[in-house]
Structure 1
Amino acid sequence: MSQSNPRCGEQHPCTLKDLGWTEEHDAAFSKYTGPYLAGRVACRQKTVWDVLVDGGSVTAGVSGALRRLGRFPAVGDFVVLLDQPEAGTSTIVDILPQKTLFARGTPGREGADQVIAANIDTVFIVTAAGHDLNARRIERYLAIAHASGARPVIVINKSDLADDPATLAGELAAVSPGIPVIPISAVSGEGVDRLDPYLAPRTTIALIGSSGVGKSTLINRLMGRPVQDTSDTRDYDEKGRHTTTVRQLFILAGGALMIDNPGLREVGIGTASTGIAGTFPDILALAEGCRFSDCRHEEEPGCAVRAAVAAGTLPAVRLESFQRLVQELAFEQDKAEIGLVRLEKKRWKAIGKIQRDIGKTKGR
Structure 2
Amino acid sequence: MSFQTFSLHQLGWQAEYARLLTLADFDAGYPARVMAVHRSGLAVLSSRGAMAVALPHALAESGGVAVGDWVLVEHEADRALRVLDRRSLLSRVAAGGDHRRQPIAANLDALFVVSSCNDDFNPSRLERYLALALDAGVLPVVVLTKADLGEDAADYVAAAEQLMPGLSVLAVNALDEASVSQLGPWLTPGKTVAFVGSSGVGKSTLANHLTGAAMQRTAGIREDDARGRHTTTAREMFPTPGGAWVIDTPGMRELRVAVGEAELGAVFDDIDALATQCRFGDCRHEGDAGCAVEAAVADGALDARRLSNYRKLQRESAHAQRSLREQHEHSRQFNAVVTQAMRVKKEKLGR
TM-score past 0.5 threshold: yes
> Structure 1: which amino acid aligns with 2:36?
C
Partner of 1:51: 44
Q: 1:341 to 1:241 in 2, by over 3 A?
A: farther
Distance 1:248 1:140 in 2: 23
Partner of 1:290: 278
Question: For structure 2, which runs of at least 5 residues remain unmatched after alignment?
Answer: none
Partner of residue 60 from structure 1, selected from 37, 53, 58: 53
TM-fit CA distance, 1:42: 0.7
Question: For structure 1, which runs of at least 5 residues remain unmatched after alignment?
Answer: 1-8
Report the secondary structure of 2:216's partner residue: coil
Task: Determine whether 1:28 maps to 2:20.
Answer: yes
TM-fit CA distance, 1:72: 2.8
Task: Determine whether 1:201 maps to 2:183.
Answer: no
Counterparts of 1:116-195 in structure 2, within 5 Å, are: 116-189=104-177, 191-195=179-183
Distance 1:236 1:330 in 2: 37
Partner of residue 304 from structure 1, selected from 292, 295, 306: 292
Distance 1:308 1:116 in 2: 37
1:111, 1:339 within 8 Å by CA — same for their partners in 2? no
2:44, 2:50 within 8 Å by CA — same for their partners in 1? yes
Identity fraction in percent? 35
Q: 1:163 to 1:92 in 2, by over 3 A?
A: same
Counterparts of 1:313-352 in structure 2, within 5 Å, are: 313-344=301-332, 347=335
Distance 1:189 1:275 in 2: 34
1:308, 1:314 within 8 Å by CA — same for their partners in 2? yes
Task: Determine whether 1:14 maps to 2:6.
Answer: yes
Distance 2:296 2:279 in 1: 14
Report the secondary structure of 1:216's partner residue: helix
Which segment is superposed worse, 34-43 or 204-213? 34-43
Q: Deviations over 1:2-36 (max 9, x none)?
A: xxxxxxx2223211001111111111123323251
Q: 1:343 to 1:110 in 2, by over 3 A?
A: farther
Greater RCO, 1 or 2 (C-alpha within 8 Å, sep 6+): 1
TM-score normalised over the length of structure 2: 0.91
Report the secondary structure of 1:196's partner residue: helix
Partner of 2:220: 232
Partner of 1:95: 83
> Structure 2: which amino acid aligns with 1:12?
Q
Partner of 2:34: 41
TM-fit CA distance, 1:78: 1.1
Which segment is superposed worse, 135-144 or 52-61? 52-61
Distance 2:222 2:293 in 1: 41
Q: Deviations over 1:307-331 (max 9, x none)?
A: 3333332222221221121112122
> Structure 1: which amino acid aligns with 2:49?
G
> Structure 1: which amino acid aligns with 2:30?
L
Distance 1:186 1:119 in 2: 25
Report the secondary structure of 1:172's partner residue: helix
Distance 1:160 1:64 in 2: 48
1:63, 1:92 within 8 Å by CA — same for their partners in 2? yes
TM-score normalised over the length of structure 1: 0.88
Q: 1:190 to 1:236 in 2, by over 3 A?
A: farther
> Structure 1: which amino acid aligns with 2:225?
D
Partner of 2:204: 216
> Structure 2: which amino acid aligns with 1:237?
D
Partner of 2:239: 251
Partner of residue 101 from structure 2, selected from 113, 117, 120: 113
Which segment is superposed worse, 213-222 or 51-60? 51-60
Which segment is superposed worse, 302-311 or 173-182? 302-311
Partner of 1:278: 266
Q: 1:176 to 1:190 in 2, by over 3 A?
A: farther
Distance 1:322 1:123 in 2: 21
TM-fit CA distance, 1:224: 2.1
Q: Deviations over 1:192-231 (max 9, x none)?
A: 1111111111111111011111111101111222221212
2:211, 2:246 within 8 Å by CA — same for their partners in 1? no
2:193, 2:245 within 8 Å by CA — same for their partners in 1? yes
> Structure 2: which amino acid aligns with 1:34?
D
Provide the alpha-carbon RMSD of the alignment: 2.4
2:65, 2:103 within 8 Å by CA — same for their partners in 1? no
Q: Deviations over 1:229-260 (max 9, x none)?
A: 21212232222244312111111111111111
